[in-house]
């Protein structure tokens, strides 16, 4: 970036840098104590950006994403991970694979967390809202300044609630198997989006989980092979 005189940066960070905070919701002032390699790596990158901006005219914004889901509401774009990556994909992809019988059912890992129903709680942010946050952040960049914002809805939804919403969106009674916890997962995390609301005039528009998943399901049905053409 320095070599090619790039002076504006929007960095895609994550709520995983907070680890497992003692209280909810998460603000930008919540201490960062990541508990997994992904969160640690993102925090290291954040620190590098902040250090570099102190002595240069770099204009940067760090966006800490919460859990991104959804497809373009117009049906133009959707999520289509390569086959070898599907096993490590998002819960929405696994739900749709189960609904389409690509896999026999959905596996939910962990039912003994200290949450309202025992499953993990997350803040699911629609990808279109996330795009909007990037555009607004770009418009407000200032030289030698690093701004930091949480990008989430401010609503926590459990994995069980997510599965119920997916069943409603697809109309398929997906088979669910409950397993032990996955190492490195935290019980609950959701955002306080007050800062980004006030400073960038941004707020999530797509907050109905069933509605968001229905958009994705429509795209999945229209593109069963992702971006690859259907074999004749």
Q: Which residues are catalytic?
A: 38
Task: Determine the length of the chain.
Answer: 232
Burial class of residue 21 in the structure, from the number of CB atoms within 10 Å of its CB (0-12 exposed, 13-18 middle, 19+ buried): middle
Check if the beta carbon of residue 155 is closer than 8 Å to that of residue 205: no
Q: Which residues contact 6 (CB under 8 A, 6 or more apart)?
A: none
Q: How far is Cα 151 from Cα 202, in angstroms, rounded to an integer?
A: 9
Check if the beta carbon of residue 123 is closer than 8 Å to that of residue 155: yes
């Amino acid at each position: 970036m320095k070599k090619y005189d790039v002076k504006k940066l929007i960095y895609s960070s994550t709520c995983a840098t907070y680890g497992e905070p003692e209280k909810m919701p998460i603000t930008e002032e919540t201490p960062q104590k990541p508990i997994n390699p992904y969160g640690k790596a993102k925090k290291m990158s954040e620190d590098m950006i902040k250090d570099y901006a102190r002595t240069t005219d770099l204009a940067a914004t760090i966006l800490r994403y919460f859990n991104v889901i959804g497809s373009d509401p117009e049906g133009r774009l959707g999520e289509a991970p390569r086959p070898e990556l599907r096993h490590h994909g998002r819960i929405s992809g696994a739900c749709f694979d189960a609904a389409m019988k690509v896999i026999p059912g959905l596996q939910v890992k962990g039912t003994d967390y200290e949450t309202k129903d025992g499953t993990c709680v997350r803040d699911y942010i629609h990808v279109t809202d996330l795009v909007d946050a990037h555009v607004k952040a770009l418009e407000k960049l200032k030289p030698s300044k690093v701004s930091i914002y949480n990008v989430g809805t401010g609503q926590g939804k459990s994995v069980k609630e997510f599965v119920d919403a997916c069943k409603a969106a697809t109309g398929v009674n997906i088979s669910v198997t409950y397993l032990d916890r996955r190492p490195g997962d935290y019980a609950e995390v959701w955002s306080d989006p007050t800062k980004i609301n006030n400073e960038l005039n941004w707020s999530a528009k797509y907050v109905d989980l069933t509605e968001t998943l229905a958009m994705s399901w429509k795209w999945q049905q229209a593109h069963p092979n992702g971006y690859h053409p259907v074999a004749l």
